Amino acid sequence: MLKKAVLATLGALTLTKEKSQEWVDQLVKRGEIAKEEAPDFLKQLVKRGDEARIEFDRRITLAVKKFSESMDFATKSDLDQLRKEMERLSKKVEKMSRVGAKRSRNAAK
């Protein structure tokens, strides 16, 4: 559901250059902007669209980060640290097992 909402918002924020050009052409045709102003207006439109996308991405990233922190999910760093600790402990147990087996053999002699 969140994915659909995000995609719908992104769709609303992003006008392709082609669609933007069509919209600007319509404005010129209706006389709402002068033909000479159209290229600059299109550049501004595209620039604002890009800025809106960047701001939207920033806000979504922040919201996801806050959500994940509130849910107390393990981070990749947390999992990497746990993996390293498990490897260290496994090696220690393996070493202790070998030492114990060696002692058992020596005691049996």
Q: Give me the percent of the chain exceeding a pLDDT of 70.
A: 83
pLDDT digits (tens, 9 = 90+) for 95-104: 998 887 777 7
* pLDDT number for residue 48: 83
Domain that holds residue 14: 1-73
Sign of CA dihedral 96, 98, 102, 107: positive
Give how far the C-alpha of residue 81 lies from the chain's centroid of Cα atoms, to the nearest Å. Answer: 22
From residue 108, alpha-carbon distances to 34, 98, 100, 103, 105 in Å are 101, 15, 12, 9, 5
The backbone torsions φ and ψ at residue 19, rounded to the nearest 5 degrees and listed phi first, read -65, -40
Is residue 59 domain-shared with residue 98, that is, in the same domain? no
Residues 81 and 106 reside in one and the same domain: yes
C-alpha 17/C-alpha 23 separation (Å) is 10
Q: Do 89 and 37 belong to one domain?
A: no
Q: For position 1, what pLDDT does the model report?
A: 46
58 and 103 assigned to the same domain: no
Cα separation, 18 vs 53, whole angstroms: 17
In the predicted model, is pLDDT for residue 87 greater than 50?
Answer: yes
Do residues 43 and 87 share a domain? no
Q: Tell me, yes or no, whether 66 and 82 share the same domain.
A: no
- Whether residue 90 is predicted with pLDDT greater than 80 in this model: the reply is yes
Average of per-residue pLDDT values in the chain: 82
Q: Tell me what pLDDT residue 2 has.
A: 47
Question: What domain count does the chain have?
Answer: 2
| pLDDT tens readout for residues 69-79 | 888 788 899 99
Q: Is 52 a residue whose pLDDT tops 60? A: yes
CA dist 88 and 94 (Å) reads: 10
* CA-based nearest residue to 41, from 69, 21, 66, 63: 21
Q: What is the pLDDT of residue 3?
A: 47
